[in-house]
Structure 1
Amino acid sequence: MADQYDLIVLGSGPGGYVAAIRAAQLGLKTVIVERERLGGICLNWGCIPTKALLRTSEIYHYMQHADAYGLSASNVAFDLAKVVERSRKVAGQLNAGVKGLMKKNKIAVVEGVGTITGKGRLSVKQGDKTTELTAKNIIVATGARARDLPFAKADGERIWTYRHAMVPPEMPTKLLVIGSGAIGVEFASFYNDMGAEVTIVEMLDRILPVEDAEVSDFMQKALTKQKITIQTGAGVEKIETGPKGVKATIKGKDGKSAVAEFSHVIVAIGIVANIENIGLEALGVKTERGQILTDGYGKTNVDGIWAIGDVTGAPWLAHKASHEGVIAVEAIAQAAGNKDVHPHPMNKANIPGCTYSRPQVASVGLTEAKAKEAGHELKVGKFPFIGNGKAIALGEAEGFVKTVFDAKTGELLGAHMVGAEVTELIQGYVVARQLETTEAELMATVFAHPTLSEMMHESVLSAYGRAIHF
């Protein structure tokens, strides 16, 4: 006989486990199904362990430049195995934390591969054991995997995905990174700071192509200054692996192809949603370009089937998945008669994006170019890190904060930052957009001194010709 629940969540990443917790808070009897480790890719193989690695490379960089702070450090070195071990311990600690949250919220956990076998039915296989589950609603939160190059599949030895790059068996000496989105740039930054010779190849005309053009331009100059080689408007046509490295044929912007040798390659050309072989086709769940189609609440075209996170398309971010999970669960609870929840559809324009490289990049809302395309008259403000006392005191005087306003209404259309700790600062602008704040409220806000956040204030003032310190 099948185990009966109010909600089945398939997948325990930041979308799935957050959805399960919110469901439990709302009194829904919930079970979560996971084929690998609680916390999903983000916690175990993505967001969290990469930040642990990047923290190591940041400290290593500072140690190598201790003299700039009046300090001395000799014989600075690292143990790659210990670097990786620390990263894995961080992931392990958080995995245990998710287990604790499941227990605390009385959420059942079933390990194994889940398949939707009919309306409200899901079968879980682990080895020879099969568990049958039933629920009125099922949330698909199966995430995504790295996209392979069709002509050079990742082998974990010379050709790596992000997953291999987090547990390197050896330190690359000469590294090729294919793709310059957040994942590609973060790994390029990490390995460059750890001493590898790094080359980035990007098919489009600029790195970090989803960011504001000025941010992309600044990052290209900053990374080039760090001795990272960057080829934009270029593509990798062929990769040949050997016992000691790889040969990559790269077609440059000029249309000419050349062969270059590397010790390792990281492929960071995007992801593929995990929607195959979980029963969606038989139920008639609509998909498009490999992604599940949903409304703003996570509901699919099939009654009782919901989808959140990477399986529903861009932006492929953990915090987007978590928020979608809460929205979907509250919509389910509301439909069941709960009058205390009032879900709103997801507004993707208010989802921040962060890249944790050196320097960091963060943004929310429209770029200047997109705002113009949308027909807005603009007021644009920009303030450099060099004009901020705290940034100078930290020895982090490179970067800027840029704000984009609608000239007629004062609406904050977008904010774009590059520099130290901007992934923390961006939330101020995210809150401002969520509250539909205009330039007037931001100008009237008192910012603590000395802080990096003062640059946010100055950028707003700058858009209206009122910057004080620059």
Structure 2
Amino acid sequence: MADTYDLVILGSGPGGYVAAIRASQLGLKVAIVERERLGGICLNWGCIPTKALLRTSEIYHYMQNAESYGLKADNVGFDLAKVVDRSRKVAGQLNAGVKGLMKKNKVTVVEGVGTVTAKGKLSVKQGDKTVELEAKNIIVATGARARDLSFAKADGKVIWTYRHAMVPTEMPTKLLVIGSGAIGVEFASFYNDMGADVTIVEMLPRILPVEDEEVSAFMDKALTKQGIKLLTGTGLEGLAPSGNGVTAKIKHKDGKVVEETFSHAIVAIGIVPNTENIGLEALGVETDRGHIKTDGYGRTNVDGIWAIGDVTGAPWLAHKASHEGIIAVEKIAGGSPHQMDKANIPGCTYSRPQVASVGMTEAKAKEAGYELKVGKFPFIGNGKAIALGEAEGFVKTVFDAKTGELLGAHMVGAEVTELIQGYVVARQLETTEAELMETVFAHPTLSEMMHESVLGAYGRSIHY
């Protein structure tokens, strides 16, 4: 006989486990099905362990440049195994935390491979055993996996996906990073700071192509200055293990194909949604290039089947998945949540320097027909940035000249992934330039640049 619940969630990533907790808070009887580890890719193999690695490389960079702070650090080095071990322990600690949250919120955890067999029915295979679950509503939160090159599958030895790049057994000497989105740039930044010779290949005209063009241009110069070789508008026509490394056939802008050998390559060309073999086809759940089609509440075209997170399409971000999960659950419980507004989802890249943004780029705002007022303030004009020794970067704000609406904000520099939330809140509250100008910002802080950028859009900047 099947175990019966109000809600069953397939997948325990940042979308699934957050949805489970909120559902329990709303009085629903909830089960969550997970085939690997609670917390999903983000917690175990993505957002969290990569930040642990990047923190290590950041400290290593500071140690190597201790003299600029009046300090001495001789014979600086690292133990790669310990670097990786720290990252895995951080992930393990948070995995245990999610287990505790499930227990605290009385969420039943069912380990195994889940398949939706009919509306309201889900089968979980646990080795030779199968468990049957029933629920009026099922949320699909199965996430996504790294996309392989069609002509070169990752082997975990010299051709890596992000999972391999997080647990290296040897340090790359000469690394090729294929793709310059957030994942590619973060790994390029980490390995470059740890001493590898890094090249990024990007087929589009600029790196971080979803970001504002000025941010991309700044990052191009910053990464190049750090020693990373950037090949934009460049294709990859071949990639194959050779000897002790990997040989790439790189097609440059002029059409010339050049072969170059690297010790390792990281493939960071996007993701593939995990929507196959979970029963969606038989139910007639609509998809678009593998991604499940949903409305603003997470509902699919099949009654009782919901979807959240990476399986539903861009942006492929943990915080987007979590928020979608809360919206879906509140709707299931009979509430009246706001529909998801993807325009208010911040994007962050944790490289050195960091990148963060929300809303429209200047180019997108112009394309949409807005008359603009744009403000820009440099880190070099901020006392706290200079004191930190982090005087490179800028904050840019884009306003509707007619209404004062904050259309977008774009930042590059130290700690901007923390600063961006101020502009996210401002957009959520539909704040105009007037409220932002009248807000008092503490001194000395990096956040003062946010104020100055707003003032600058209206010709009122004080310190620049």
- Which amino acid is 1:434 matched to? Q
CA deviations on 1:107-153 (whole Å, 9 max, x unpaired) are 00000000000010000001111100000000000000000000000
CA deviations on 1:377-415 (whole Å, 9 max, x unpaired) are 000000000000000000000000000000000000000
Deviation at 1:243, TM superposition (A): 3.6
CA deviations on 1:138-175 (whole Å, 9 max, x unpaired) are 00000000000000000000000000000001000000
Q: How does 1:280-319 map to 2 (within 5 A)?
A: 280-319=280-319
Deviation at 1:421, TM superposition (A): 0.0
Deviation at 1:326, TM superposition (A): 0.1
User: Which one of 422, 428, 450 corresponds to residue 434 of structure 1?
Assistant: 428
Q: How does 1:18-97 map to 2 (within 5 A)?
A: 18-97=18-97
| Identity within the alignment, % | 85
Q: TM-score, normalised by structure 2?
A: 1.00
CA distance in 1, matches of 2:436, 2:315: 27
User: Which one of 437, 445, 464 corresponds to residue 443 of structure 1?
Assistant: 437
CA distance in 2, matches of 1:247, 1:352: 37
CA distance in 2, matches of 1:80, 1:331: 47
Deviation at 1:15, TM superposition (A): 0.1
Specify the SS of the correspondent of 2:9.
strand
CA deviations on 1:240-281 (whole Å, 9 max, x unpaired) are 202410110000111111011100000000000000000000
- Which amino acid is 2:53 matched to? L
- Which amino acid is 1:370 matched to? K
Match of 2:278 in 1: 278
CA deviations on 1:293-322 (whole Å, 9 max, x unpaired) are 000000000000000000000000000000
- Which amino acid is 1:363 matched to? S
CA distance in 2, matches of 1:255, 1:429: 42
Structure 2 segments unaligned to the other structure (5+ residues) = none
Match of 2:350 in 1: 356
CA distance in 2, matches of 1:329, 1:240: 46
Higher mean displacement: 238-247 or 44-53? 238-247
Deviation at 1:239, TM superposition (A): 1.1
Please tell me the root mean square deviation across aligned C-alpha atoms, in Å. Answer: 0.4
Specify the SS of the correspondent of 1:390.
helix
CA distance in 1, matches of 2:331, 2:336: 8
CA distance in 2, matches of 1:301, 1:422: 39
Q: How does 1:176-191 map to 2 (within 5 A)?
A: 176-191=176-191
CA distance in 2, matches of 1:254, 1:423: 37
User: 1:227 aligned to 2:221?
Assistant: no
CA distance in 2, matches of 1:253, 1:332: 51
User: Which one of 437, 452, 458 corresponds to residue 458 of structure 1?
Assistant: 452
Match of 1:368 in 2: 362
Match of 2:387 in 1: 393
CA distance in 1, matches of 2:162, 2:201: 16
- Which amino acid is 2:452 matched to? E
Match of 1:407 in 2: 401
Specify the SS of the correspondent of 2:272.
strand
Match of 2:165 in 1: 165
Specify the SS of the correspondent of 2:74.
coil
User: Which one of 412, 415, 421 corresponds to residue 418 of structure 1?
Assistant: 412
Q: TM-score, normalised by structure 1?
A: 0.98
CA distance in 2, matches of 1:304, 1:265: 43
CA distance in 2, matches of 1:394, 1:255: 44
Specify the SS of the correspondent of 1:206.
coil
